[in-house]
Amino acid sequence: MTRLPFLALFLILSLASFGQKTQALWYKQPARNWNEALPVGNGRLGVMVFGKVNEELLQLNEETLWSGGPVNRNPNPGVAKFLPEVREALFREDYAQAAKLTQKLQGLYSDAYQPLGDLVLKQPLTGTATNYYRDLDITNATATTRFTIDGVTYTREIFVSAPDQVIVIRLTSSKKGALNFTAATRSPHPISKTVPGRDELVMRGKAPAHADPNYVNYNKQAVIYTDSAGCKGMRFDWRVKVKSTDGQASTDTAGIRIQGATEAVLYVTAATSFNGFDKCPDSDGRDEKKLAETYLSKAMAKSAALLRRDHIADYRKLANRMSLTLNSEAAPVDLPMDERLKRYTDGAADPALESLYFAFGRYLLISSSRPKKEGEPGVPANLQGIWNPMVRPPWSSNFTTNINAEMNYWPAEMANLSELHTPLLDWIGNMAATGRETTRNFYNMGGWTVHHNSDIWGLSNPVGDKGKGSPSWANWAMGGAWLSQHLWDHYAYTGDRTYLKGYAYPLMKGAAQFCLDWLVDDQKGHLVTAPSTSPENVFVTEKGEKNSVSVATTMDMALIWDVFSNTIQASEQLNMDADFRQKLLDAKKKLFPLQIGKKGNLQEWYKDWEDEDPQHRHVSHLYALHPGREVSPLTTPALANAARKTLEIRGDDGTGWSKSWKINFWARLHDGNHAYKLLRELLKLTGMEGTNYNKGGGTYPNLLCAHPPFQIDGNFGGTSGIGEMLLQSHDGVLNLLPARPDAWASGEVKGLKARGGYELDMTWANGKLTRVVVRSTLGGNCRLRVPGTLTAAGLKPSSGVNPNPFYALPVSQYRTQTPETATNGVAVYDLATAPGKSYVLVGAR
Ligand code: FUC
């Protein structure tokens, strides 16, 4: 036998004998804390699995369980009168006075996402556990814990079924009758427990009528459970039932006891009285008891094996649309995830970890963001997806729209999970409903917007508790513009005209209308925003004054450019609203322009001021580069260079999501090696707990991103960053491998999506594409920009303006070259495609 086959055989055998899987996060010890526990979920129900031996902890969530109730849409009446005063102060450059007055334009804080409670599996085992193993297998969305005590192996499997809306927990012992445990429940909320039978436990309770954000500490009571009006305070009903066991089951309020079993299967489900963002969850709530009973009784009619089969089929329908392999010839790394991350942090190569991180991002979206179905609302993934154990979680675990809520959905379209985008898209409609009243009540203006925080109640007002919040974050008014990009992108990827006409366009138009009303003439020929902030940074004026409120920050102008451009293109596609389109075209021409500062950077502020914190985590002024499309190395090279300079000045440090955003920026600058450097830093193992705004970042042992604390946006931004390194389609062409790092010399990606309804498979070796498959759903001219050369029937060098409407470039005063401009080693082709057809392109040898 030669050396190599022997080694291969050894590897196969050792992998098989330890049961370790390549698409799994696995560990040799239980989770010591939440950041080591493993998330499973079906979009609605979420569980953090700790894998403890004697007292297994399953921390539960239901996505609609929030504190509060419908928002007060006019919480601070009469404040619109201060806006002219703010503007007057700004135009006489009294920024301190302007900031003070801006604080008068504030309303109430958002409410907070709530935990449901814990299910604790108490297994009175003496002796030491050996052969301990736990994992989260993302090929079947199942968490397994296994260990041996006194010669008996105990196994627990847990998954959350989307088709059947239950959590399934299956416990087994290798020795007949050795399984004894009590399934106990507890909640941070007041609950009552009832016992409908010897095998079932029901918990009923109420979420708080209000919970202050964790950074508000001046109220006597931060969490209030009662609402004298009977409106707020969402009810919940949560049930645990034995599906089957060969042992004895008995139940009292202390829990469900199973004795002398070899196997026991528990079904767990929950429902709340949430009845929509504008309905009182208490007085006008849904019948949560009936909902939970129905989920459970339907599931009880099916065996665990059947539920598992249907769960896996449902999960794989989404998960298996894509795959990514990087440098497959690299030796596999067969280590527990904590050790694997440590090894990677120390500098070792592990391309399979990088592709696993991408797959894990898709797993998280599938597990935390499911479209609405009958009876289920479909709420967007919040700051923590759907996983939160705290009544006052960091930043209320809400929807933060000055980066975080959007970042959650950056991978949705490109990573072939378009329908998982719809919870956010649907939610925009709710925010717009309150947002229309916010713009009227706070500014006396039309259209709609949402400020930097929102919640399940569609909150849209500037937060800050009527003057107590810093305007650097509370008064940022551009959420409607940013969210509108998601409305447009969903169309740009899918070409769904019915959706564009009936749903997205009216909302985009409303967001654009607010921006039209919000802009003001600076008397020097430009339209500016005032007040204006650059989240959440502070400038230093020539006089040394520090402030955050000024006029026409670059981010504001870039966001308005974006929403105007997208709305103009949408109205062209729909061939409607020519008058409104013309208004937008006229205003767009007068927008205060992007500027290059004295350091050669893309300027952040109206004037070329210094930053109080030059390395601030937000890099808001590069919105135009990503996720916007105003700046691109292909079309506006001078501005792209300025953006690069900005990133160099900002530096590579940053919290979780900040680092993820920078990966996307560097990918958009076509600098794969720099993007890769940051990806490696994002995956740096951290155990840092608590909150750190400025430093920190990294990845916890459970592969969730650390702000710190945990925030899921960093995972999603990292996922989209990898996508942007492989394929871009925002600036007039399909740009294949635009930011491939040297470290990914070879690879294969399948199922990546591009705008205009294209789906691509790409294989590359030595940095050159060897095979590309283009599947077209909408047809049209597919213009490909590729490293190297490709051949295929019908593939021609590109000529003229790309006639594909999904690749039309918005009118721009900055464009100095076309995206087809050839550079060394890059070819640009046209391929005429027809809907439903596939095309195979082969790399020249
Ligand atoms: C923004 C960020 C913070 C944090 C919060 C949820 O306000 O500036 O760092 O991520 O959102």
Cα(458) to ligand 1 centroid in Å equals 19
Burial of residue 834 (number of CB atoms within 10 Å: 0-12, 13-18, 19+): exposed
Atom of ligand 1 nearest to the CA of 713: 10
Over range 487-495, report the average pLDDT: 98
**272 ligand 1 Cβ < 6 A:** no
Q: Is the C-beta atom of 383 inside 6 A of ligand 1?
A: yes
Is the CB–ligand 1 distance for residue 395 below 6 Å? yes
330 has pLDDT over 70: yes
Checking if the pLDDT of 9 tops 50, the result is no
Please say if the pLDDT value at position 10 is more than 50: no
pLDDT score of 370: 97
Q: pLDDT (tens digit, 9 = 90+) per residue, 27-46?
A: 999 999 999 999 999 999 99
How much of the chain, in percent, has pLDDT values that exceed 70?
A: 97
Task: Report whether residue 661 contacts ligand 1, using a CB cutoff of 6 Å.
Answer: no
Q: Please, is 501 exposed, middle or buried when counting C-beta atoms within 10 Å of its C-beta (0-12, 13-18, 19+)?
A: middle
Instruction: Give the model's confidence band at 695: pLDDT under 50 very low, under 70 low, under 90 confident, else very high.
Output: low
pLDDT (tens digit per residue) in 674-691: 999 999 999 999 986 666
Residue nearest to atom 8 of ligand 1 (CA): 536
Which comes out higher in pLDDT, residue 248 or 655?
Answer: 248
For ligand 1, the distance from its centroid to the CA atom of residue 534, given in whole angstroms, is 13
659 lines ligand 1 (CB under 6 A): no
Confidence (pLDDT) at 844: 79
Q: Mean pLDDT in the chain?
A: 95
Q: Is the CB of 455 under 6 A from ligand 1?
A: no
Given a cut of 60, whether residue 699 has pLDDT beyond it is yes
Query: Looking at 250-264, 661-675, 693-707, which range is the least confident one?
Result: 693-707
Specify the pLDDT at position 328: 86
Model confidence pLDDT, tens digit, residues 259-309: 999 999 999 999 999 999 999 999 999 999 999 999 999 999 999 999 999
Question: Which of ligand 1's atoms lies nearest the C-alpha of 535?
Answer: 8
**Which tokens in the block code for residue 733?**
């062409």
- Measured CA to CA, the distance from residue 57 to residue 36 in angstroms comes to 12
654 C-alpha vs ligand 1 centroid, how far in Å? Answer: 12
What distance in Å separates the CA atoms of residue 217 and residue 42, rounded to the nearest whole number?
A: 34
Residues 6+ apart with CB under 8 A from 679: 354, 663, 718, 721, 722
- Sign of the CA dihedral running 236, 713, 457, 571: negative
693 lines ligand 1 (CB under 6 A): yes
Q: Is the pTM of this model over 0.95?
A: yes
pLDDT in tens, 708-734: 899 999 999 999 999 999 999 999 999
Say how many Å lie between the CA of residue 537 and the centre of ligand 1: 12
pLDDT in tens, 413-446: 999 999 999 999 999 999 999 999 999 999 999 9
| Helix (H) / strand (E) containing 647 | helix 637-650
User: Tens digit of pLDDT for each residue in 196-241?
Assistant: 999 999 999 999 999 999 999 999 999 999 999 999 999 999 999 9
- With a cut of 60, say whether residue 6 has pLDDT above it: no
3-state helix, strand, coil in the chain (%, to 5): 30, 25, 45
* CA 707 to ligand 1: nearest atom: 10
Site to substitute for ligand 1 among 382, 388, 395, most atoms within 8 A of C-beta = 395
Please determine, for residue 7, whether its predicted confidence score (pLDDT) is greater than 60. Answer: no
In the chain, the amino acid numbered 497 is: R
- The answer to whether the CB of 404 is under 6 A from ligand 1 is yes
- Most informative mutation of 404, 454, 473, 659 for ligand 1 (most atoms within 8 A of CB): 404
| Residue 17: band (very low, low, confident or very high) from pLDDT cuts 50, 70, 90 | very low
- The two three-digit tokens of residue 8, written as one number: 């291969």
What pLDDT does 15 receive?
40
pLDDT tens by residue, 132-169: 999 999 999 999 999 999 999 999 999 999 999 999 99
Q: What percent of the chain has pLDDT over 90?
A: 93
Residue 11 pLDDT exceeds 60: no
- Of 7 and 760, the structure prediction assigns the larger pLDDT to 760
Going by pLDDT thresholds of 50, 70 and 90, the confidence category of residue 845 is low
Condensed to tens digits (0 to 9), the pLDDT of residues 538-594 reads 999 999 999 999 999 999 999 999 999 999 999 999 999 999 999 999 999 999 999
The enclosing H or E element of 133 equals strand 130-137
Q: Is the pLDDT of residue 696 over 80?
A: no
pLDDT in tens, 446-462: 999 999 999 999 999 99
Instruction: Give residues with Cβ within 8 angstroms of 304, minimum separation 6.
Output: 168, 170, 243, 244, 265
φ, ψ dihedrals at 391, nearest 5°: -75, -30
CA of residue 455 to ligand 1 center, whole Å: 15
pLDDT at residue number 688: 66
Mean pLDDT value across residues 811-825:
91
pLDDT at residue 694, as a whole number: 59
Distance CA 75, CA 181 (A): 51
Q: Which residue's CA lies nearest to atom 3 of ligand 1?
A: 693
Q: Report the distance separating Cα 85 and Cα 723, nearest Å.
A: 46
